[in-house]
Structure 1
């Protein structure tokens, strides 16, 4: 049944990373409330959306405010809660009735030892929301909203393997939902540039198209050329949503850092993009004078084809393209398993064993030092406790965390190999 709240055939969709980290994000409460107010009371029809997918809404009070002020305009809302410290920070506001939801938590999601990162503890996930038909005859929409693992530096700190494995999981869910008859839209802060391996997995293995690229065609500006544009041109013509100098939180970043990380990837067999823009680029009034988030939002207007009109499947990529992606993914995972995993396991195991030996030695030594100076035994006991706790913690990470990560990576390797064998045997029958 078509929604009473959507009067047009097209769907106006917004995805926005709101930067809602508690105690870390500056002016978090004021910014999130300003975003909620703007969504609830748009100034004109250009700021009115049918579906809004948000990321980094990590504080319950921020969601409660969003839920309260937006309930009239967006009667259908969902906040996803799974996670250890907090939820994945994902939520959806919609005028289209929601028929079903589920949350898929990434099995490969950073290292539990990197507690200062937070990705593993919040439970980075894919929030899947399936909607009723928004218009008579149209295919139902399946929206996949996510905030993938962030890069924190070069080399091991980039977590490129984790994002590649997350993209692989994304592609599997996308393909299943497409086969189930949904018009699939993948949105969010995917922390992946257009030329990256995860992006290739989304578009080649998942069979999705970048709505920005579809609309701009030959006018697409490669990532390497974005630095030659002014900040205004980067946003207007390059679709830059992250590290723009127009953003007050990123105004000191070099021009080379400007990039597209926020997407709306669509199934080209049943969805046609009509318009796309970078939104929420304005700043808050005094005294804050800051951008609404450290990202800009991405808006796209889409038309979903009627049911049955998508029978002629578009084959976007050849078997050779998929084979190249498989090889690159296997190489990425293999490098991580043969270099990072042994290093992590080795030094944590060594720390655990040495800690046990040192603690035993210090228990013996404390008998002698206490006879020399009684107060020194207190220091020895304190040092023993610290060494014991840190050693046991690293022992647990070695025995459980690193081994679990290694086995999850082996599972991805086997899945990719299965897909590769199938591709070789059935490439001529595989349709997208």
Structure 2
């Protein structure tokens, strides 16, 4: 069977985000007619917005939903599905940013990872949704080029995202169950594909495939700071980037991926991000087309031995970040 997955950062910050109430209603109305079977939303902070989104989406067949209360600011992660949700779990990221950066709010947001198990007609599917720590500077060591495998973040929150990427990979490995017919992960990673954060995530979970890259290996797939987004102005510090992702296990066949929610009839964008949508085939039909690999994969220690440089760079960055922290 085919599954359509949508990931979208809704920019639903109370008092801060422009036209929040109007945009969230438009998003709910969009989901009424969306072809998506599974929807991963980030930054749905206001409970009334989450309830409204769930109600509107249910009228279009997305009858099952859950929002995850996370931190002092409420909840932000939300999953909607056409299939029953039979298990849920949330884990908060241990690295949370700078508590003194009050106007950024990442420390108080309680960011983390949500997990739901869906029961599809083909069998159970494990689904993960997340939002990594913000990247306000997009500053990296060196230039991203063909001879550079990945760029190392220089912004103060770089160590936070690196730690979160490792925790996310560990959480996914721990919660994918043996009888799962497919694994899906998505969300806002706040890092473009050629960064240390993504290199670590891919290295820890080689069985996951980046659906956009599989379907469109040469296309940029910009989801943030886009030229045609009414709420953003691309600049040197805020370049157009792909920082939103949908991943699927390699036993699923990627049929396509596209940037969505970039053209609206409202006269303004529905968020400061665009959405990402992917279609995959799972179950018996997918096995004819997809690569079959070991679902468990090698241990983290084995991965570090095979490709030590990203982990060495991560340790150096985490050590530097720890030295910057004020004493307890």
1:308 offset after TM fit, Å? 11
Provide closer, same or farther for how the CA distance between residues 254 and 114 of structure 1 changes in structure 2, counting only shifts above 3 A.
Answer: closer
Q: Which residue of 68, 71, 82 corresponds with 1:80? A: 68
TM-score by length of 2: 0.85
Gaps of 5+ in 1: 1-8, 222-236, 346-397, 400-432
Say whether the 8 Å CA contact 2:7–2:277 is kept in structure 1.
yes
1:340 offset after TM fit, Å? 4.1
Q: Deviations over 1:65-92 (max 9, x none)?
A: 11222223221110111212322x0101
Q: Which residue of 149, 153, 172 corresponds with 2:133? A: 149
1:313 aligns with 2:312: no
The RMSD of aligned alpha carbons is 2.8
Q: Relative CO higher for 1 or 2, CA cutoff 8 Å, sep ≥ 6?
A: 2
Q: Which residue of 287, 293, 296 corresponds with 2:274? A: 296
Q: State the distance in 2 between where 1:255 and 1:317 align.
A: 37
Q: State the distance in 1 between where 2:292 and 2:272 align.
A: 41
Say whether the 8 Å CA contact 1:161–1:333 is kept in structure 2.
no
Q: State the distance in 2 between where 1:176 and 1:24 align.
A: 36
Q: Which residue of 240, 249, 268 corresponds with 1:258? A: 240
Q: Which residue of 311, 315, 325 corresponds with 1:333? A: 315
Q: Deviations over 1:14-42 (max 9, x none)?
A: 110011111111001101111111112x2
Provide closer, same or farther for how the CA distance between residues 300 and 311 of structure 1 changes in structure 2, counting only shifts above 3 A.
Answer: closer
Q: State the distance in 2 between where 1:57 and 1:104 align.
A: 17
Provide closer, same or farther for how the CA distance between residues 312 and 105 of structure 1 changes in structure 2, counting only shifts above 3 A.
Answer: same
Provide closer, same or farther for how the CA distance between residues 97 and 115 of structure 1 changes in structure 2, counting only shifts above 3 A.
Answer: same
Q: Deviations over 1:190-229 (max 9, x none)?
A: 112111122112222112111111123xxx23xxxxxxxx
Match of 2:88 in 1: 101
Provide closer, same or farther for how the CA distance between residues 38 and 302 of structure 1 changes in structure 2, counting only shifts above 3 A.
Answer: same
Q: State the distance in 1 between where 2:239 and 2:82 align.
A: 36
1:64 aligns with 2:63: no
Match of 2:38 in 1: 51
Match of 2:210 in 1: 210
Match of 1:426 in 2: none
1:344 offset after TM fit, Å? 3.5
1:273 aligns with 2:271: no
1:189 aligns with 2:188: yes
1:12 aligns with 2:4: yes
Q: State the distance in 1 between where 2:234 and 2:211 align.
A: 29
Match of 2:220 in 1: 238
Greater gyration radius: 1
Gaps of 5+ in 2: 140-152
Say whether the 8 Å CA contact 2:10–2:41 is kept in structure 1.
yes
Say whether the 8 Å CA contact 1:103–1:125 is kept in structure 2.
yes
Say whether the 8 Å CA contact 1:262–1:298 is kept in structure 2.
yes
Q: Which residue of 99, 107, 111 corresponds with 2:98? A: 111
1:104 offset after TM fit, Å? 0.9
Q: State the distance in 2 between where 1:335 and 1:33 align.
A: 41
Match of 1:377 in 2: none
Q: Which residue of 25, 32, 37 corresponds with 1:33? A: 25
Counting matched residue pairs gives 307
Q: Which residue of 151, 166, 169 corresponds with 1:171? A: 169
Query: Which structure has the highest helix share of the two?
Result: 1
Say whether the 8 Å CA contact 1:148–1:163 is kept in structure 2.
yes
Q: State the distance in 1 between where 2:283 and 2:316 align.
A: 41
